[in-house]
Amino acid sequence: MNVPDISQWLDSGGGRFGFQLAACVVCGGMVGIERQLRGKAIGMRTSILICLATQVFVRLGLQLSAGVEATDPTRVVGQVVTGVGFLGAGVILARGDSITGVTSAAVVWMLAAIGSTIGAGFPKEALLLSALVVSILIVVRRLESAFIRLRGGSDEPEGAQPTSEPASESSRR
């Protein structure tokens, strides 16, 4: 297998690599700043790094498989999805009856999808995905604040005050 040296890799695509790196910083930064401003564990640095890493893996898979019949560059994407799944699972915490970090885990997955999209050569689409993710995070948060029944998936009747303690065993019967 003929592996290109690093200078060929950096110069390939008429400067596309530098553009892709910048796209990763912008897209990861867009999502990361929303998370950082909310005090979440997945902030700007982590978001940018997830985008950069997935972009590099996808781009490397595409370039190493170029001209080689027996390779499948989509396998790299599959491995990225698997690895990012483990990363996302690490931010989910269960404490008693509550589970936290699910949105952060979903954000990690979306950041990997955004980075993969950039690595595959679709930076405009990645920018749209980033804007969509930020919009969803902001709009749904506002909806949750406006409608208490959406907060935490409450099934309390409208107008009832949700309780902070679970019902006792005898009151459930």
SS3 128: helix
Q: What is the dihedral of CA 164, 165, 167, 169, to 10 degrees?
A: 170
Higher pLDDT: 162 or 109? It is 109
| pLDDT value for 99 | 86
Q: What would the mean pLDDT of 87-102 be, rounded to a whole number?
A: 86
| pLDDT value for 57 | 93
Among 17-21, 89-93, 94-98, the range with the most confident prediction by mean pLDDT is 17-21
| pLDDT value for 7 | 58
| pLDDT value for 123 | 95
Q: What would the mean pLDDT of 134-152 be, rounded to a whole number?
A: 82
The answer to whether residue 169 scores a pLDDT higher than 70 is no
DSSP string, 61-107: HHHHHTT-TT--THHHHHHHHHHHHHHHHTT-EEETTEEE-HHHHHH
Q: What would the mean pLDDT of 121-150 be, rounded to a whole number?
A: 90
pTM, rounded to two decimals: 0.76
The answer to whether residue 31 scores a pLDDT higher than 70 is yes
| pLDDT value for 11 | 55
The answer to whether residues 107 and 42 touch, using CB atoms and an 8 Å cutoff, is: yes
Q: What would the mean pLDDT of 108-126 be, rounded to a whole number?
A: 96
